[in-house]
Structure 1
Amino acid sequence: MDDFLAARSQMALSLGFHIIFSCIGMVMPFFMAVSHFQWLRSGDVAYKNLTKAWSKGVAIFFATGAVSGTVLSFELGLLWPKFMEHAGPIFGMPFSLEGTAFFIEAIALGFFLYGWGRFHPWFHWFTGVVVGISGLASGILVVAANAWMNSPAGFDFVNGQYLNIDPIRAMFNDAWLSQAIHMSLAAFAATGFAVAGVHALMILKRRNVQFHTRAFQIAALFAAVAAVLQPLSGDFSAKDVARRQPAKLAAMEAHFYTEKRASLVLGGLPDEQGKKVDYAIKIPGMLSFLAHGNFEQEVTGLDQIPVADQPPVLVPHVAFQLMVGLGMAMVALSILYFIAIWRKKRWLRSEWLLKLFVAATPAGFLAVEAGWTVTEVGRQPWIINGVMRTADAVTPMPGIAYSFYLFSAVYVSLSVVVIFLLYRQIKMVPELYDQPAQLAAA
């Protein structure tokens, strides 16, 4: 493995690992706050116990996310020094503000974890809300930095120099809004389905049904709302990408030739040498409509992009298809859940619906990983779109392959530890909260 591939692989591994904890850190505090609110409003002790159980999970994910996020910040400087040399002064503001949001989140989480019986109940609840708001803000600020890489703004690039820097304009670049909305909804859907799936499994196993039913209801509702809204966000994002990054859109859709009434490609395997897609279903005019709102509009193909500036096609296309397919499956399950709430309440007690949620447990996070693959691979060969190539930003330091192997071992180890801690936490729930006397004592 050469150093350039090793650097990209290490960054991909780190981002892929960290994004899971980022999503959970953005969303779980809101679940916790809703459960806490229900306890304060109704006095139902099951909600209090649920809040305490979820707060322990939040603490685990916060600690792991803090570690992986710190590693990422070091990797930006170690693996991509040329990028940070030029880009740091331009898009440093969202990173600085993200650090502030992170500290607020840490302080608020400390207050919440140690505030039981020490603060006024509603102030204690408010500290949990602050954890959620600051976590969500932290995620949006990081997305703003990534959006700047896709849509660089806030500077003039003259003779290789970055002049007239405007960090506010850089942070609020043309891509930040669509990416922030899309990523936030993805985080709620992914975390919601994962949490709902775990609690659905516990219900099916008849373990502390009341406790897990409360948890399932909160997580499933968040997941369903986010999943139904996500296609609207996806349409907004797709139109934005079509305008700003036609090469990425062409790679996502395996659209090799510029044409009017462009067809939407469903599935298939791109043949980059033959400039075609095998085993695909094509819907005439639909790509033109999705990209431009007009069935007859011309869509730029890869034939209009210089070969040296073309992204790979296979990986973004397959990842995009996977993301959309999983997204539509989650939308279908969400619609079933809404029907169950409004019209078919007996479905809520049926095993088949719970089993569908169990099956959907990993769907959201698989879709998130696929979406970030589209975002990052589809931007290649640029690290700053149209300004700096990824190959020009990599460190000249040798031996990056060994660093990649080391970090891979570290992340695998962290994953095992987190899975063990969560498994033990889930197993402990029935032991802690099953008996009515123990519920009252809590």
Structure 2
Amino acid sequence: MRITRGTRTKGTGTTPTTRTGRPRVPGGPDGRRMLLVALVDRTGSGLWASVSVLYFTYVSGLSLAQVGTLAALAGAVGIAGAPLGGRLADRFPLTRVLIALQLLRAVASLGLLTTDDYGLLLVFSALGGLGDRAASILTKLYATRVSGPDRVRYQALNRTAANAGWALGGLAAAGALAVGTTAAYRWLLLGDALSFVAVALLTLRCGQPPSPSRTVTATGTPAPTARPATPWRDRTYLAYVATETVLFLDDAVFKVGLPLCIAHSSDVPHGLAPLLMVLNNVMVVALQVPLARFGATTAAARTLLLPLSVAYALGGTALALSTAGGTRTAVALLTGAAVAFTLAEMLHATVSWELSVALAPGTAQGTYLGVHGLAQAAQRTIGPLTVTAALATGPAGWAVFGGGIALTCVIQHRTVRGRLSRPPLSVPPVTVSEH
């Protein structure tokens, strides 16, 4: 008899509610704790992300080239964090791996406080990047396992909590920047490090979710398992990940594209850039959970790829048209582009959460999600180059940019059709709690 460690989750096809009629958080107490983890984690990240360049410049005394190299190395090492974290989660208890990664992030942040030596700063930044990407993938994997058939709704709640955390951290960082002292910068970095310690302690209280890849017999001894599937030989999944890299380009639009459009326009006030970021955060917090219900099943998530393509095309068109006309027209079109790309961001998040899991075999979820994480990591490298090329090309560049992503949505819609139309090869094993 095969028994998987964890708790059994049974879907009912409807959203469960409490006795008061309020929607219940999928995953029970552990699900609620992980939402708190997301809030605390991203609050700490919000403290640091907005001031890291200033810290390295004014406190550590690094040159522009050194700061750029530091960020590039952290991003490059972070690419390896996604598949590494996923593979570890398929071989070891997920919560223990998550705790270890959060403590690694804490050590890396504290290390930055202890030195201004460039070599050591490179090492600590690389460790932080590795831990950040791996922890991000494993948090998603935990949500997948603990929430069962309600994983899309749970991920929407998780993303809402994370965006609220980013906003809180960003506001606190803005207050510290008003002070502008070296001590203020150091306190922000210390707050980031302490947030990782806090989330490690919160994760320690979470139960181990069910894992099809880690089984034990009724006597408690490890059960023999077949060799797990590998995503590196799965052409359909690799093709899906390749299209995901393109669909994640909305991130580069907000971080690089819109700010550069505003900076290079003589008609648009520079203060519009942070306002569009605020608009993005507010929309995600307000609409991510309601929109998630449109992708609650695998078939519905795949269908969302078609309206998603329209949102990307509209966003690219608005950016292309924003270069013509006066101040009011440019502001209106840039705001419209921000709304369109935020809508695309939320729809893609819903689609991506469901399809990345549905296309992965249960016995290798961690490994597959780790490879899926490469798409977002790779986008961080090619995204800035793509949007700057579109900006340099002019209106036609933005039209091709939006149209290209829209076409990729259609390609992904066809790519996954064959895999999702097949019946499941096996029934997941019955699970019991290890508490």
Same fold (TM over 0.5): no
Choose between structure 1 and 2: higher strand proportion: 1
Identify the TM-score tier after normalising by the shorter chain: 0.3 to 0.5
The alignment's TM-score, normalised by the length of structure 1, stands at 0.35
Highest Rg: 1 or 2? 1
The alignment's TM-score, normalised by the length of structure 2, stands at 0.35
RCO higher in 1 or 2 (8 Å CA, sep ≥ 6)? 2
